[in-house]
Amino acid sequence: MRRADYGGGVVVRAEVDAGRTTLVIRAGADRPSARIGVRWVVVTGLLLAVAIGIGVVSLGVGDYPMDPLRVLRALGGGATAMEREIVTEWRAPRVVVALVFGALLGMSGAIFQSLTRNVLGSPDIIGFGTGAYTGALVVIVLVGGGAFATSAGALVGGLATAVLIYLLAFRSGVQGFRLVIVGIGVSAMLAALNTWIIMRADLESAMVAATWGAGTLNGIDWRTATPALILAAVQVVPAAWIAYRLPYLELGDDTAQSLGHRVEGTRLGAVVLGVALTATATAVAGPISFVALAAPQLAKRLTRLPGTSLAPAAAMGSLLLVAGDFAAQHAFGAVELPVGVVTSTLGGAYLVWLLSTRAGR
């Protein structure tokens, strides 16, 4: 065990238990300590570094190609005025949104998989993404609103669906398996409703709704991205609060209560935050499938933690979405696909593999 005192009562020491190195940070003798696994830190940092690296490469690929060094110079205020315009105004909004929205979806998936204790407990499987799509469809087809009205409709639809699923699943508390089953049922009904709404719409509205429903980052600019980015920044504080309490819920309700935690209040707060994270991304980009499902499990395998953790899941979500969007833009020649098509294709294969391995057990 190694110990380092950084002054002001802040003490950092390394502990090794069962081959796992953990950093213990204590901010005073009478204050609680925080434990951070070294592997957790390394994996999260590497995932973020790779995601940002792909983002930098993406900023330089297009009709006006630039190498990564020129991209970095443009981001730093150097290069030519045209290159700064291309990088910071034309391409950067899409890359930043991919990084941030991927993190939001990864955290949302980690929250719901932790609450349900089920690898299928992600917001797109449970139905929150479908509910957000329903809200957007109502605005696009029946009201005829613009981008901001569509975003508002998606937020309302996602939150309303969450309230409905939570109430239907509540029986002296909410159990994970019941939440998943009720969510799948509500999602199926909403999917049928969405199909009916599109069939009743005129051709132009139906095409807009179908494009948005595929999940796409095409046409993202700072004007449409800024409100969602601000909302995402606001959600960081409650996400940190939930991340600290989720491991106690994974121990079981009785154990969590004996440790002084309000189980149902924490669970309700986690549900609200998870829905808000998903709805924030869905409101702008549409329902991007399978990132929330795959990111927490992939991050868990890399960190080798017994439970889910929000930070590695967020980093993995950023990596999956920015890589998927890069492939959607450039992997098919002149055809630019919605990123949701790429994530659905890869996510579907991942889901088949996940179900087959689980069935084998």
* pLDDT tens-digit map of 118-163: 787 788 888 888 888 888 888 888 887 677 787 788 888 888 988 8
CA torsion, ordered 300, 303, 307, 312, to nearest 10 deg: -70
Contacts 24+ apart (CB under 8 A), 35-42: 37/303, 37/305, 38/14, 39/303, 39/304, 40/303, 40/305, 40/309, 40/311, 40/312
| Strand-pair partners of 36 | 23
Quote the pLDDT of residue 21.
Answer: 54
pLDDT band at 62 (very low <50, low <70, confident <90, very high): confident
Tell me if 176 sits within 8 A of 249, measured CB to CB. no
pLDDT band at 27 (very low <50, low <70, confident <90, very high): very low
pLDDT band at 6 (very low <50, low <70, confident <90, very high): very low
Tell me if 268 sits within 8 A of 115, measured CB to CB. no
Q: Taking each helix axis from N to C terminus, what angle separates 38-60 and 291-303, rounded to the nearest 10 degrees?
A: 130
pLDDT band at 22 (very low <50, low <70, confident <90, very high): low
pLDDT band at 311 (very low <50, low <70, confident <90, very high): very high
Largest pairwise CA distance in the chain: 69
Measure the CA–CA gap between 169 and 324, rounded to whole angstroms. 34
Query: Over the chain, what is the mean pLDDT?
Result: 82
